[in-house]
Amino acid sequence: MSDPADKRGRRQGEMSPEELAAFQARVSDLDSKLDKVREQRHGRDSDQDAEMRGRGMAYGMRMATELVSAVIVGGLIGYALDWWLGTKPWLFLLFFVLGFAAGVLNVLRAYERMQKEFMAKTGGRIGHSVPDDED
Amino acid sequence: MPDPIHQFDIHTIIPIKLFGWDVSFTNSSLYMVLAVLLIAGFYMVSMRARSLVPTRIQSVAEISHEFVAGMLRDSAGHSGMKYFPFVFSLFMFIFAANMLGMIPGAFTVTSHIVVTAALAALVFFTVLVVGFAKNGLHFLKLFVPEGVPILILPLVVAIEVISFLSRPISHSVRLFANMLAGHITLKVFGGFVVMLLGAGSYSILAPLPLAFAVALTALEFLVAFLQAYVFTMLTCMYLNDALHPGH
């Protein structure tokens, strides 16, 4: 992702590597300063928290529908097959269980995607920044 | 107490009969047309100047474009950009409809499952058509994960098929349920305020549900955006499955 952007910048002659490094250092410096200010200003509870709660509700809702919809689809398929083949109630039972398995699979996949999304957004930095050897 | 369901009533504005079908222009149709006009009008006005240094309204239009384009590029890659008009229209329509619904007294198009199911079905069939057109029978590999022992393969395929078929349901129910539940909650809390005001000395408690209704309104604005975002995001992911079924 960052590689092509880097190349493009150099081709246009906007930034040499040293300038880029200096710029990045300045940005990260500014970032940590901003973090400090933000922390002082409103600690933990703020509109960010409210947004996270809204997001959490949306995610929870998403998980619930992922699970339930697969169970419903599985049940419906089983019921239709039973009705068609006259094997009541065996295929319904089988597909109900399969639907549940599909639901769990859906939830696992959705969770995986959310995790990836979250890691991409925060870069794995979940807490506030703490100075270390590299700073 | 005011009926919290009343806001979802459909009533005919212009009755139209076509080949025995009732295709009347209803309040729902009116708000759909309004949403489309609003979007088209907004982009016509905001992009009129087309200056290199955007004005405020132009930058809003550009940000919305970049937002959806980034979402699609991240999840479906560059080959997915061909479907940008489709995805962008979906996002803007749902977003505009949700936001129009937040105006007091307005009708929320997306709180009806017919509408969201139609949108989800559109996505579902687009994915099927694109998947088979691009990959042919190779598309069916989506249902056959690699490295599964042949003995349990039928079971896994059945589960994968059910999982695939459940997509349009969860896709449509999520948007519909969120909008419906949110608007009912708002109405119920508004109703509490009115009921308390008419209850003699208890009316001093009336500000309590009012404060709650105000907070809920803010949350509903967030939900209106988030649900449009989630719907579009999932559309992008499903398109990605259609374009690259191998993984």
Exposure string for A50-67, b = 16+ CB within 10 A, e = fewer: eeeebeeebbebbbebbb
**Which of B51, B180, B195 has its CA nearest to residue B107?**
B180
Helices (H) and strands (E) in chain A, counts: 4, 0
pLDDT of the residue at B199 = 81
Return the higher-pLDDT residue of A90 and A10.
Answer: A90
Q: What average pLDDT does the structure give for chain A?
A: 78
CB contact under 8 A, A102 and B174: no
**H-only helix segments in chain B:** 27-46, 56-76, 84-101, 113-135, 153-165, 167-197, 207-243
Interchain contact B174–A (C-beta under 8 A): yes
Condensed to tens digits (0 to 9), the pLDDT of residues B15-43 reads: 888 887 888 899 999 999 999 999 999 99
Report DSSP state, residue B13.
E
**Cα dist from B230 to A115, A117, B48, B131, whole Å:** 15, 12, 30, 22
Which residues of A fall below an 8 Å CB-CB distance to B? 50-51, 54-55, 57-58, 61-62, 65-66, 68-70, 72-74, 77, 95, 98-99, 101-103, 105-106, 113
Helix (H/G/I), strand (E/B), else coil: B21: strand
Q: Which residue has the tokens 């999840």?
A: B75
Report DSSP state, residue B77.
-
pLDDT of the residue at B38 = 95
Return the higher-pLDDT residue of A119 and B240.
Answer: B240
Q: What percentage of chain A exceeds 90 in pLDDT?
A: 27
A3-7, A43-47, A87-91, B134-138: lowest mean pLDDT where?
Answer: A3-7
- Rounded to 5 degrees, what angle do the CA atoms B193, B198, B202 make? 75
pLDDT of the residue at A1 = 46
A4-13, A28-37, B19-28, B212-221: lowest mean pLDDT where?
Answer: A4-13
Report DSSP state, residue B25.
E
In this predicted structure, the answer to whether residue A116 has a pLDDT above a threshold of 60 is yes
pLDDT of the residue at B203 = 82
pLDDT of the residue at B115 = 94
Cis peptide before A89 (omega within 30 of 0): yes
Q: Do residues B202 and B185 touch, judged by C-beta distance below 8 A?
A: no
pLDDT of the residue at A56 = 75
Band (A49; pLDDT cuts 50, 70, 90) = low
Cα A74 to Cα B246: distance, rounded to the nearest angstrom: 24
Select the residue from B98, B159, B171, B247 to test the A interface by mutation, using most A Cβ atoms within 10 A.
B159
Burial of residue A8, with CB atoms counted within 10 A of its CB: 0-12 exposed, 13-18 middle, 19 or more buried: exposed
Q: Token pair for residue A11?
A: 């081709």
Cα B34 to Cα A27: distance, rounded to the nearest angstrom: 44
Mean pLDDT of A74-97: 92
Q: How crowded is residue B184: how many other Cβ atoms within 10 Å of its Cβ?
A: 15
Exposure string for B43-59, b = 16+ CB within 10 A, e = fewer: eeebeeeeeeebeeebe
Least Cα separation, residue A40 to chain B (angstroms) = 25
Report the residue of chain A nearest B181, measured CA to CA: A61
Cα B238 to Cα B10: distance, rounded to the nearest angstrom: 32
Report the residue of chain B nearest A63, measured CA to CA: B170
**Cα dist from A109 to B186, B203, B225, whole Å:** 33, 50, 23
Q: Do residues B146 and B247 touch, judged by C-beta distance below 8 A?
A: no
- Put simply, whether the predicted model's pTM sits higher than 0.80 gets the answer no
Return the higher-pLDDT residue of A55 and B168.
Answer: B168
Burial of residue B113, with CB atoms counted within 10 A of its CB: 0-12 exposed, 13-18 middle, 19 or more buried: middle
Band (A27; pLDDT cuts 50, 70, 90) = confident
Q: Do residues A75 and A92 touch, judged by C-beta distance below 8 A?
A: yes
Cα B238 to Cα B131: distance, rounded to the nearest angstrom: 10
In this predicted structure, the answer to whether residue A37 has a pLDDT above a threshold of 70 is yes
- Spans of chain B below 70 pLDDT: 1-2, 246-247
CB contact under 8 A, B166 and A101: no
